[in-house]
Structures are given as structure tokens and as C-alpha cells.
Amino acid sequence: MNIALSPAETLRTALAALLDGLPPRQAAQAVDRLIANYRGETPTDAPILRDRADVAAYAAYRMPATFEAVRSALAAFAGAVPGWTPASHVDVGGGTGAATWAVAAAWDGVRPVTVLDWAEPALALGKELAAASPALSGARWQRARIGSALQIGSTDLVTVSYVLGELTERDRAHVVDAAAGAARSVVVVEPGTPGGYARVIAARDRLIAAGFRVAAPCPHSAACPIVPGEDWCHFSARVSRSSLHRRVKAGSLPYEDEKFSYVAATRLPVTDVSPAPARVVRRPQIRKGQVLLDLCEAEEQLRRHTVTKRHGDLYKAARDADWGDSWPPAEPGNYHEIRQ
């Protein structure tokens, strides 16, 4: 019997097969080098991912986490544009292709996919991994440097995942402007740090200036209500670790939580876009008989809501609500009853 695997399972299997042949000591050394490089000064003049060992280390050490972060961002985006499926996808700074796997997980079907990156070994390994996926085996892996000369062909969706932090401020602007000029929808994902959030907000501003509307995570396209320096908007994606991942990362937990910031913006007609009425922007706090939800609201403000047992079904929904979810759920309940 041939049971079709999900993109996440296929990626896990493909990564395991690829890294099986890599001696654990060599993998560990490559991970150490990678961490040291990423702690160093970025942007760099040349790719950090220089050879196959670097790229294999990236794939083992980081790709499962960037995949889950992008998948989570795309799930929120897809929820805001329920009638839309991208007919084509370009992943800029795509490396080993984590975001292409996340797009395949978010939307069924096969679409033209192009991955652009300046690191040839990353593209080569990404292509090898993608051969295991019916949705990605036909993807084009192209060498391209992000800069003022970057050209992105017209496409439905552009993803820029964990790339802005490796670029100069000018190149960040170039890549966001090029994405805005090429695509109907643009999704930018960064680490969930104050710096990552600041880069996401700068990208958000440029996309709005280019005529895009924010579909997720924000409930609106007005200014972010977070006071810079006081807090940062970020979310969390659970990444289950395979035994191989545990070995390479030398950790014992069966999972880790990847923190990320993101913006998904679109030029789709306003009637096709339904941003969340509000979004849960912190892990909900469950207390005896009540749930505290920190929400970013359509009224351009952050507010804490307390949902208690007396709210009935809504209380049950609040107990199930997760950090990053849209609130209230489409069913059931009457949200206005609990406005405070």
C-alpha cells in the first residue's frame, strides 16, 4: 500500500536520508562552524554556506525550524485569504528551500517554483531534497545575488524567509521592493527577536507604501501599536526533533520552540482578504476558571481580555486558543458580549 506522506513528513525523511551518510563528528563540526559564522558580522560579502558540509549542517540544524516558522505564518495568511491559492512561487534567499516546503504544506497542488540564492551548495542540496516531493521536484534553483540588480519574474507569491538579517539596510529595501514589484502576495519571516521584528516592520511599511494590504498577523494595515524598544511582536512554532536532529543539536528534548516574526501582505482585492478580527499575541494564560488573552485588535491597539466560565462556549474556545491564533474563533459565540 502506498500511503502519501505530508510535505512535513517527506521533508523529514529526505533530510534523514541525506544526513545519514554524514559522519556525526563532521556534522557536529560543521554545525559549530555555522553557529560561529552566524554569531559573526552579517551581512557578509560572500555566502556563509560555502560547501556541502556547511549546507548539510544548515539543513539539519536550522531547516526544520525555519520550515515550521514559515508554515505557521502561511497558515495564518491562508486563513485570511481563504479563496486564494498561489499559482506560482518565488523564494528569495531560499537556501535549501525551507519556504518552498512550507508553501507545499499550506496549499495542495503543483505550481511553478523558483528558488533564488547566491550560495550554489545550498541550491544544489535544496534541489536534491526537493526531488522527494511531487510538488517541488520540478522547481528551478537559480543563482542570484540580492542587491540593486535583483530581478524577480512576475509571480503570485514571493517568500523572503530568514534572509533580511543577512543583508545591508539598502539590500533589505531592494529585496522587499523587488518582491512588491513582482508578486501579488509577499510573506517575510524573520527570527522572533527585537531585531527580526524591526526588520519585519520596515518591510511591512515598504509593502504598504507599495499598495499592499496586510493580511496577517496584523488585524489592520495601520501602524503597529507596539512601542519600539518596549516589546516586539513574535510568535512560536513547535519543531519536533528527529533523532538525527537531536544528535546534531546535542539537545535532549523531543521538540524545540522556534520564535519568529512575520508579515504577509497582498494586493488581492479587499473583498478577498479577511484579516483576523484580533490576534493572540502572547501565550494565553490559563487560570482557575478564566483565560487571559493578550490581543492585537482591529482598533489598532493591544488589549488584555479575560474570558471566564460564564462566557460558555467562548471560554472553551479560549482554553484551546494558541499564541498566534485569530480571535474570536469563527464559531461559536458572540464576541461583543465580552468586550471590556
Assess 127 for contact with ligand SAM (CB under 6 A): no
Assess 185 for contact with ligand SAM (CB under 6 A): no
Choose, by CB under 6 A, the member of 6, 110, 134, 145 that binds ligand SAM: 145
Q: How far is the CB of 120 from ligand SAM (least distance, A)?
A: 9
Q: How far is the CB of 100 from ligand SAM (least distance, A)?
A: 9
If the CB atoms of residues 49 and 129 are measured against ligand SAM, the closer one turns out to be 49
Assess 196 for contact with ligand SAM (CB under 6 A): no
- Residue pair 311/318 in contact (Cβ under 8 Å)? The answer is yes
Choose, by CB under 6 A, the member of 98, 152, 178, 281 that binds ligand SAM: 98
Of 78-86, 155-163, 215-223, 257-265, which segment contacts ligand SAM by CB under 6 A? 155-163
Assess 161 for contact with ligand SAM (CB under 6 A): yes
Q: How many chain residues bind ligand SAM (CB under 6 A)?
A: 20
Choose, by CB under 6 A, the member of 80, 146, 158, 164 that binds ligand SAM: 146
Choose, by CB under 6 A, the member of 16, 75, 118, 120 that binds ligand SAM: 118
Q: How far is the CB of 165 from ligand SAM (least distance, A)?
A: 7
Q: How far is the CB of 246 from ligand SAM (least distance, A)?
A: 19
- Residue pair 187/106 in contact (Cβ under 8 Å)? The answer is no
Choose, by CB under 6 A, the member of 15, 34, 47, 333 that binds ligand SAM: 47
Assess 95 for contact with ligand SAM (CB under 6 A): yes
Residues making contact with ligand SAM (CB under 6 A): 47, 49, 63, 66, 93-95, 98-99, 117-119, 122, 145-146, 161-163, 166-167
